[in-house]
Amino acid sequence: MTTAQPTAPDSRTQTAPMSIDLEADTLANMYLTFDIGTEEYGVSISDVIEIVGMQRIMPIPDLPQYLKGVINLRGKVIPLMDIRLRFNMAERAYDDRTVIIVMEVEDAPIGLIVDGVREVREIPTERIDRHAQLGKAGSRQVIAGLGRLEESVVVLLNPSVLVSDEDLRLMQEKSHA
């Protein structure tokens, strides 16, 4: 009986898939962290398109208070959500540290207004508590998990719950009216 001998892998076909997998694994553990009040929050870096400074916001009437309006970012209309107001925190004046984190949520761009950006942090999966009972059992929660670091805890957000389908629909309807 003849058995096939293993052949040396072709380096041209092995390199690209391995680097893509490595990149996906690396991004899966990377979070952009930012401040809301005195707390540190984070979102997966893979959802982030860019970070921009505050700009002139065009208010849109008849929206919830936390949906501040839209900006024109290089010809693209981006709806804005003030995270402080979304979390029922006190409104505060925007300053030179306030930024907009532009993300892709459910195939739609959205800008999250935050008090300030901290850094991109690696939080290994085993350091994330996803089973924290912080809301109603069985419901989709805004908090995706709690990232435990040496000196602190990062509240990791679930963008697809933070920005509801209804919010996206309202913003699209009102900005195209």
Q: pLDDT digit string (tens) for 82-133?
A: 999 999 999 999 999 999 999 998 888 999 999 999 999 999 999 999 865 5
How far, in Å, CA of 16 to CA of 148, rounded? 33
Q: pLDDT digit string (tens) for 52-84?
A: 999 999 998 888 999 999 999 999 999 999 999
What mean pLDDT do residues 136-154 have?
Answer: 82
Residue 151 clears pLDDT 50, i.e. is over it: yes
For residue 6, the 8-state DSSP code is P
Three-class DSSP category at 115: coil
Domain ranges of the chain: 33-133+140-175
CB proximity list for 101: less than 8 A, separation 6 or greater = 32, 34, 43, 48, 51, 111, 112, 114, 117
Give the count of beta carbons closer than 10 Å to the beta carbon of residue 122: 13
CATH fold, domain 33-133+140-175, is OB fold (Dihydrolipoamide Acetyltransferase, E2P) (2.40.50)
**What pLDDT sits at residue 177?**
57
- In terms of pTM, does the model score above 0.85? no
How far, in Å, CA of 104 to CA of 106, rounded? 7
Instruction: Find tokens 């805004």 and name the residue.
Output: 142
Of 80-94, 115-129, 146-160, 161-175, the poorest mean pLDDT is in 161-175
**What pLDDT sits at residue 135?**
53
Answer with the residue of higher pLDDT: 124 or 22.
124
Residue 167 clears pLDDT 60, i.e. is over it: yes
